[in-house]
Amino acid sequence: MIGRLNHVAIVVPDLSAATALYRDTLGATVSAPVDLAAHGVTVVFVTLPNTKIELLHPFGDASPIAPFLDKNPAGGMHHICYEVDDILAARDRLKAQGARVLGDGEPKIGAHDKPVLFLHPKDFCGTLVELEQA
């Protein structure tokens, strides 16, 4: 059901410093920061030959990742994102098997302008999983 690994998301306390680390120290190609007000985050994508790293930083007072950064002031891995061919079929199959879809269960448009869903970390070995329509 799942396809390729789309990205690994890392919450960072200082987006400029994290961007410089990946660009200057590791030699990666990085995007410009993009504010996603509807999601409460600012993102920078690090392009790798086989996947991406998504650097996340809180945007606005109600950012859903602010509590994560409060608990992990140095930042850390937030979620992994897998591609699926049919997000609704994937959701229905997972729910039928007992997995919990976060929110109202309906896909939202994510950072790549594609439908996404998040799955409860307690159902996936303690890892928050994002599914993205391929």
Active-site annotation, residues = 130
Residue 42 tokens, joined? 């600012």
Q: For residue 12, give the CATH number of its domain.
A: 3.10.180.10
Average pLDDT, the chain: 96
Q: Are 3 and 87 in contact (CB under 8 A)?
A: no
- How buried is residue 126: exposed, middle or buried, by Cβ count under 10 Å (0-12/13-18/19+)? exposed
Residues above pLDDT 90, as percent of the chain: 95
Q: Taking the chain, what is the end-to-end CA distance rounded to the nearest angstrom?
A: 12
Amino acid identity for residue 134 in this structure? A
Residue 69 tokens, joined? 């950064």
What pLDDT is recorded for position 93?
97
d(CA 79, CA 122): 13
Q: Which domain holds residue 27?
A: 2-133
d(CA 7, CA 22): 15
pTM of the model: 0.93
> What tens digit of pLDDT does each residue of 69-123 get?
999 999 999 999 999 999 999 999 999 999 999 999 999 999 889 999 999 999 9
- Please tell me the total count of domains within the chain: 1
d(CA 106, CA 44): 25
Handedness of CA 68, 108, 15, 19 (dihedral sign): positive
Q: What are the start-end ranges of the H helices in 1-134?
A: 15-20, 66-71, 87-96
> What tens digit of pLDDT does each residue of 99-111 get?
999 999 999 999 8
